[in-house]
Amino acid sequence: MTTAKKTDMNNYQERLKRTIMTAVLIALVGLLTPAKSGAMGTAAGTLLNNTASASYTMGAGSYSITSNTNTIKVDEIVNITLVWQDALPGVMVTAGQTNRVLTMKLSNTGNAADTYTLSAIATRISTTDFTPAPSGLYLDANGNGSYDPGVDLPYDPDTNVPSVAPDQSLTIFLMGNIPATGLFDGQKGNLQLSAVSKTASGAPHAILSGKGPGNCDVVVGLTGGQASAVGTYVDSGIEVNVLKAAVVANQLGGKQPVPGATIHYTLVVTAGGSGTAVDVVITDPIPANTTYVAGSLKLDNAALSDAADADAGDENATTANTVTVKLGNMTSSTPARTIAFDVKIN
């Protein structure tokens, strides 16, 4: 027999805090730029031919002739850009979080394919910034702009380097660990990602003879073949609170929690403090020795289907034997959200 107790509620809140603080990336999707021919430049190694022709008359005859043919090989120019993608003011974090993702877009703005060396360091913009620790670099292998563990593999300078065709982009996920203590609400911390072309870098206009496709020359463009971008974390003082209540009604019309009785749970969710709790997700396992009453899940008095679908919640779909409800972002001014569901005591 299970009843709702105050200690359950405290455990609940602890679990909730951990769940809620898993904020989802606000990543502007780093779409692969579609390749337009010539958009960023004629491919290095391309041969340009020019031949003039002429016709004329002399005396009674008409003649036509052609000139010699000039052939020119297009050289390679190396240029790159790196742009941080997350929405300002930055990715919301709280103390002690690990592997929080900053999303970066690396673009090859030259005219030949290139590979890159990456490095990341913490960097301080203001004297009050905290210092995150770089904890990982991952390449967006499936090009969907968001980090997919197991699919997007870690950067490795020998075995997994970014390789980008001309006029294309690659999304890179830079992860950092947030210090566990000493943070104040609104405090910022920054990580800087740097990318350097493995083909050529350094002073613009420098030339590497014969190192490009078709033995054309390589020229370092105005970007110097390197780029860096800074991403910012913002410590968020937001806290999400859940007040859980249980009302028992048994088949005899009484309130004793006997087998067969229904427990009606309500969870009232609010956010307090400053900042935004991003993509709040409430999960509540069905207590042991009870069975969820199918179709009883409600959010703010509107029914939610039990299946995982377009609505905000499900039971036993996202996680077995668990109610999962997505509430989106919440701030201290967000009105309280009420989740309700019933279980029957076995």
The residues binding other proteins (CB under 8 A) are: 38, 40-42, 46, 48-63, 65-77, 111, 207, 209-210, 215-217, 219, 221
Rounded CA separation 8/290 (Å): 15
* 183-216 residues labelled b (16+ CB within 10 A) or e (exposed): beeebbbbbbbebbbbbbbeeeeeebeeebbeeb
Nearer to other proteins, 34 or 182 (CB): 34
**Cβ nearer to other proteins, comparing 103 with 111:** 111
* C-beta separation of 155 from 162 below 8 A: yes
The structure tokens 């022709």 sit at: 53
CB of 171 to other proteins, least distance (A): 25
Residue found by looking up tokens 């919640």 in the block? 313
Strand partners, 116: 197
Nearer to other proteins, 67 or 142 (CB): 67
Cβ 217 to other proteins, closest distance in Å?
6
Smallest distance, Å, CB 209 to other proteins?
Answer: 7
**CA 338 distance to own-chain centroid:** 29
Q: Which is nearer to other proteins, 38 or 253 (CB)?
A: 38
Q: Please state the closest distance from residue 199 (CB atom) to other proteins, in A.
A: 14
Least spacing, CB of residue 68 vs other proteins, in Å:
5
Phi, psi of 255 (to 5 degrees): -115, 5
Residues 157, 187: contact at Cβ < 8 Å? Answer: no
Identify which of residues 64 and 126 has a Cβ nearer to other proteins in the complex.
64
